[in-house]
Amino acid sequence: MLITLVTSVIGTCYALNVILSLFILVVAFNKQVILELFPLKTSTMPKPLIIVEVLAATFSELPLHLLFVKYISIQITWLFGGFRYTLPWLLSFLDYITLFGLFLLFVESWKEDAVVQEAIKDMAGGDPADSVDSIMSTSYAKRIMNPLWTPKDIVMYPNITYATNEELTEAIERTNDHDQPRKMALDIYKSTKTPKNSGLRPVLVHIHGGAWTVGDKNTLYPHEKTLLTEENWIIVNVGFRLAPVNPYPIHLMDIKRALRYLKRCISTFGGDPNFIVLSGDSSGGHLAAMTAFTANEPEYQPGFENVDTSVKGVISINGSLDIQSDSHRGEFFAKKVAMKDTIDTEFLSKHSPVDLVGKAKENGLLVPFLVITGSRDAIVDCSIGQRFKKNYDQVVDEKAINSQCAFVQLPAAHHIFHVSWSPRSLYTSRLIQIWCQQTYNKNK
């Protein structure tokens, strides 16, 4: 009786696993399935859309690991007699389709080095100075096998408060929440192998995503790890207050407060306050672009209007660079992020980076951009990055080497492809590394 119960449970679990895996595999290859099942029709971002997109990205970035898990699940089901039942046995044939699909996802990721190579070539104006190393090399293979691989030769300075005492007090009084000041902090990373005579090193400041409402600064991304270990850059992850408790543009003001601190103090950590590049993913890409385009604007620097908050470049990874062309997304930003009662189109235009390129050019704030998008991103469509690139190029002289927008569209990438190590994120990290070094060298 007990054996029968165990085998039936295992068989049922296996059957459910096959069905779920096949569904995720389908959406990993076709984002339209996600959008048709979970359309954005209201001012609220559908949670099922986010969950399915994250699962699709997991399948796309970790197919080898999932192949191994699949193999183990088949062996366990066979060992405990789960295939004695007709349904699990029949579904096992579908599971082989999933296994083959996972292999194809790995091949897709592997072959995207060609897209990155072409992008590097375009940035260099000819043949790339450095090719993208093969993922089969020993140093990179171990990263592919361990998606969370982090170098040992780095030191972290966590939870450094960047706000003044008055700002911290105001944050508490405004929300009656004593936890708010904890969000106004940053983490600084540096390599322990940086030569002592290397001078002040360039700084990358990353702004996390999360639809302006969730997320934190605790993830060290692959491109940050690459810059740390191979170029000795100083890396900063910034935390900031979130909606709905803190309506936008408080997010933007907090990022500028962090820049105020870094301009004054990053040199004590070995960083160059005169060379800071911003990177951001999803909503963090929006905040990075807005920070660059509103540098030194008193409206967003209350109490520190005279502090220089300019930066040298911006990296947008699936960034929300357009918040109003889609009416539902505009409604979401206006009502759920800025916490306004109505949809204010003037306000949305004022805070939509894709519409501010011309103004940034007029104000001398159009810094170099690297815009990376994924064709299969179901949360931030790749067309947003395409429009930003188009608008940027329309206002910039091709000969203006200090103001250029490099655009890379990865054919099979989903929204969070860059979070852990995979062939695709490894290639992208190398691309970001080369772009950062080129931007830095042009500013020397």
Query: pLDDT digits over 322-368, tens only?
Result: 999 888 899 999 999 999 999 889 999 999 999 999 999 999 999 99
What the block records as the tokens of 148 is 């969370």
Buried b (16+ CB within 10 A) or exposed e, 393-407: eeebeeeeeebbbbb
Sheet of strand 313-317: strand arrangement: 154-161, 185-191, 234-238, 201-207, 271-281, 313-317, 369-374, 405-410
pTM of the shown model: 0.95
Query: pLDDT digits over 87-101, tens only?
Result: 989 999 999 999 999
Crossing angle between the packed helical segments 86-111 and 423-442, to the nearest 10 degrees: 20
Predicted local distance difference test score (pLDDT) of residue 399: 56
What the block records as the tokens of 97 is 């389709």
Contacts of 373 (CB under 8 A, 6+ apart): 318, 380, 382, 384, 385, 386, 407, 408, 409, 410, 413
Q: Cα separation of 227 and 151, whole Å?
A: 11
**In the predicted model, is pLDDT for residue 64 greater than 60?**
yes
* Cα separations in angstroms, 137 against 106, 141, 160, 235: 16, 6, 37, 26
Q: Model confidence at 403, in pLDDT bands (50, 70, 90)?
A: low
- Report which of 134, 140, 309 is spatially closest to residue 230, judged by C-alpha positions: 140
Query: pLDDT digits over 236-247, tens only?
Result: 999 999 999 999
Q: Model confidence at 131, in pLDDT bands (50, 70, 90)?
A: low
